[in-house]
Amino acid sequence: MTRAHAPAARLCAAALALGAGCARPQYLGTEVPAPCTARDVEGCLGWMMERDLAAVELGLYDDARLRGYVQGVVDRLARASRLERPPRVLIADQSETYATAGRRIVIARTTIEKLGSEAELAGILAHELAHIEARHVMVSLFGRPPDGDPLADRRDSEAVADERAVWLLERAGYAPSAMGRALRAVLEGEDPEHPPRAERIARVDALAGGRAGFEGRAALLRHVEGMVIGRDPRLGQRVGDAWVVPALGVALDLDEDDAVRSGGELLALRRGEARIVAYAIGAPWARELVATLEEPRVAALPLGRLTAGTVPAQAVRTSDDSPLGKLARAIRSTHPQPPAGARVVILERPAGALVIELDPGRGDAPRLPLRAPTEAELLRTEPRRIVIERAAAAGTLAELAACRGRLLDDPARRVAAGDPIKCADRPARRSPLLALP
């Protein structure tokens, strides 16, 4: 459950020299902090990755109370570790949970959704904390290439992190047995960089030996109440004959003859001879993209500033050739952005921007009917959220028919009368599929 950051890997030499002769430069519209000018490679990389999530991908889950609670769990685990200070926690609207090369733990909101107690949450966080404690990510970025099988080394690192997590749980006062339950809840498939799911669960169960400790089910459920469930549609959702981005307050009307190829956070369609791709990005990153466009044409609309232009055939270089400047350029190259030579329209809004890539083919550029969403469209894109109900009697959740089709908990969980149960605020509604051509 850890991953390296590819741009940093490509510029390890620059990162290792970080801060040499650097003034305090800007990165995505914000002055870089002290770690980026004090040779603190890990601290600087962590800050830049966090800035990317907020200012580029609109990928942070904005709930300060929940983040503070999760940070408190990490702080408790860190006191049992060899770390001088706890890693910083970020909650992200994405599917991956991982430790970064920068003393950060990024935990997916969808991971938290699947867990049933604070001890299970602590198990997932302890696994990532173990990666940071052992410096697995930094070694994978900046260490010597292994002589053997790199995948085998990654699997070994994951197994070590699992085992260390069981130890950290017990030292922090949590139930070691929660680790196996956490893995059962969040591991859905297999991948070559991790040991087999069944093997991982069996190993941590054997290490835990059924030992008890603090569970904290009520504490977790109290803090996740109101949290969004599943994919958050507010960065893009098909609603009737429009593609709506509630996070930006923008809607794009679709023609009945449009051949729509994808949905979710990215819209791709063919309209006659033209091809259109649209997606949301953060406002600081949008400003940087706008500044690079060739032959820009600017229009002030009620929705915001609209800039049309062409992406340069070659990347625009800045005058900053310091190690930090080179590292920043490498990371920027991985951000969501139109390809070189593309014709684009960028609509800037207070909360971010909508990027529309246009390939008119052999015809004229298509009309783009952008507008504000209606109240009905915004209502259709409101995500489901967690609500907490109370068991009417003792028994398993399946026996009690708890939540009446809205259950998010394990149906086999046994509860007493009055115990909290994790439910959805309404039944799942299948999102309308975008038509395939």
Give tens-digit pLDDT for 317-342: 666 777 777 778 888 888 999 999 99
Strand ranges of the sheet holding 88-92, from the earlier edge strand across to the other edge: 88-92, 104-108, 98-99
Residue type for 316, please? V
β-strand 304-310 against 294-301: which pairing, if any? antiparallel
**What is the C-alpha to C-alpha distance for residues 301 and 303, in angstroms, rounded to an integer?**
5
Counting Cα atoms < 13 Å in the Cβ hemisphere of 144 gives: 3
Going from the C-alpha of 36 to that of each of 245, 367, 424, the distances in angstroms are 34, 44, 43
Q: What pLDDT does 147 receive?
A: 65
pLDDT of residue 38 exceeding 90, the answer is no
Q: What pLDDT does 102 receive?
A: 80
Q: What pLDDT does 19 receive?
A: 47
Q: What pLDDT does 14 receive?
A: 42
Residue type for 403, please? C
Q: Provide CB contacts within 8 A for 193, sequence distance 6+.
A: 151, 154, 155, 158
The confidence band for 159, taking pLDDT boundaries of 50, 70 and 90, is very high
Q: What pLDDT does 273 receive?
A: 87
Bridge partners for 423 per DSSP: 387, 407
Q: What pLDDT does 396 receive?
A: 96
| Residue 65 burial (CB count, 10 A) | 8
Q: What pLDDT does 235 receive?
A: 93
Residue 295: exposure state from Cβ atoms within 10 A (0-12, 13-18, ≥19) = exposed
pTM here is 0.87
Share of the chain above pLDDT 70, in %: 88
pLDDT tens digits along 266-307: 999 998 889 999 999 999 999 999 999 999 999 999 999 999
162 with 127: CB under 8 angstroms?
yes
Least confident among 139-143, 175-179, 346-350, 389-393: 139-143
Least confident among 61-75, 248-262, 379-393: 248-262
Q: What pLDDT does 110 receive?
A: 96
Stretch (H or E) spanning 87? none
**What is the C-alpha to C-alpha distance for residues 22 and 327, in angstroms, rounded to an integer?**
13
pLDDT of residue 9 exceeding 70, the answer is no
| DSSP symbol at 97 | -
Short-list 360, 363, 357, 343, CA closest to 296: 343
The confidence band for 17, taking pLDDT boundaries of 50, 70 and 90, is very low
β-strand 266-271 against 104-108: which pairing, if any? unpaired
45 with 82: CB under 8 angstroms?
no
